[in-house]
Amino acid sequence: MLRFAFFALLFALIYCPALVSAQNSPPPSGSGVPSQAGTSAENPSTPSAEVAAAESAIAGSDWKTAESKLDAYLATHPTDASALFDAGYVADAQNRLDDAAALYRRAIAANPKSFEAHISLGLLLARQNKFDEARPELVTAATLDPGEPGPALKARAWRALARIDRSTDPAAASNDLLEALKLSPETPEDTLLAAELAEQAGQNDAAEAAYRRVLLKDPRSVPANAGLAHILILRKQYPEAATLLRAALAGAPDDPTLNAQLAAVLVAQDDADALPLLQKLHNAHPADSTITRMLAQVLAVAGDYAGSDRLYLRLLAANSQDADLLVAHGQNLVRQAQMEEAMKVFDKATQIDPANADGWSGLAFAASRAGHPDVTVHALIMRSRFLPENASTLFLWAISYDALHQKQQAAACYHRFLQAAAGKMPDQEWQARQRLQILEK
């Protein structure tokens, strides 16, 4: 009876959405130990008095009593595989994971064909993110006979393997999931994993279809809404993504992923609602660097350069070698007319990442405003290796050569600037024509 209870509990866990992930599944709880544990010498099919008492305690979740009974039995029967598994199960249920792992390993050493010991050890190691150790235990479990109800339990091993393999080997994860589906019906969590794997493989249409299948059955599913929103954002279908996310947030208003996705959509659409949403997110998750970056970006767009820069400086304190953060900081300094300081920041960014075209652009502009035409020309030369010229950079070329008294180069750049600007920069165009009259006399 207890062996059946153990299997029934594991069977229930397979279909519990909160426990599907191999990484997060807690140990099984309640009754559930093999009835062959601790059999007596007189009758191999009958548990000893100590183990029978332990099993009764386990049925009532009385872990301390079960532990004391099993300890007493194992003191004289140290290689009883089933009793060792029972003791591991009790330790697992109390979150004594190291003790549980050691007892499961002893059970496996005593009986290498113990399905329950292999799968329980594999799931425990997966919960600890020890995937390299967990995987062989689960692979072994998938080859063993779990008894009744066998297929569903073996499917759980395959599902756990799929979760482990999804990051490092999506193809293997897909095969693992297929093996699970051969043994038990598809669950919503299976569909979500299939969608994730399809997305990793670049099969966005298949991923979208899978997310929508889940949402047909459960419109409030946060993972499915977030997954579908990600697909829509990748396709730049921002209005549809915003509608989806607002509906999803009605049921999960504080979910950080959905809020962050909606903020990203609103930023992409230049929607004024992005700022209060990001401020709310930042207050709730002040240590989240992605949210902090987004808020800093939106504050700069809104004209709060000082507020934006405080956030960038906080991020730089944690990662001083991030060239993109340095460029964003430098741009805020330019907006606050701190050109000399901005030059230093852009120079550091381009030293860290010589291919950062935005860093070279910022350095060229700040140096021009600070009166360093030689630095401007150097920055423009470096920038031209990565980006084509535009009217603004051609004007910087022209006035820098002009300041360096290189008249021929200056005149040529003024002419190119006038052609590129085509009436869109009237003040600079007037200045260019005035200078050309002087340079070409």
Q: What is the pLDDT of residues 384-399, one digit of tens each?
A: 999 999 999 999 999 9
Is the backbone peptide bond immediately before 149 cis, with ω within 30 degrees of 0?
yes
CATH 1.10.10.10 fits domain 192-269: no
Mean pLDDT value across residues 410-424: 94
Return mean pLDDT, the chain: 86
HSE value, Cβ hemisphere, 13 Å, CA-based, for 361: 16
pLDDT given for residue 361 in this prediction: 96
- Residue-wise pLDDT for 301-328, tens only, equals 889 999 999 999 999 999 999 999 999 9
Superfamily of domain 1-185: Tetratricopeptide repeat domain (1.25.40.10)
| Percent with pLDDT over 70 in the chain | 89
- Highest-confidence segment of 90-94, 171-175, 189-193: 90-94
Using CA atoms, how far apart are residues 436 and 428, in angstroms rounded to an integer?
12
**How is 198-219 classified by DSSP, letter by letter?**
HHHTT-HHHHHHHHHHHHHH-T
Closest CA to 188 of 160, 161, 211: 211
Give the per-residue pLDDT at 46.
58
* Tokens linked to 253: 């208003």
Of 150, 56, 122, 235, residue with least CA distance to 48: 56
Residues 349-392 pLDDT 10s: 999 999 999 999 999 999 999 999 999 999 999 999 999 999 99
Sign of CA pseudo-dihedral 422, 428, 431, 436: negative
Say which residue the tokens 């279809």 belong to.
209
DSSP 389: -
Confidence of residue 35 (pLDDT cuts 50, 70, 90): very low
- Tell which residue, 146, 104, 124, has the closest CA to residue 6: 146
Which sequence spans correspond to the domains of the chain?
A: 1-185, 192-269
192-269 shares the fold of 1-185: yes
Quote the pLDDT of residue 148: 67
DSSP string, 243-288: HHHHHHHHH-TT-HHHHHHHHHHHHHTT-TTHHHHHHHHHHH-TT-
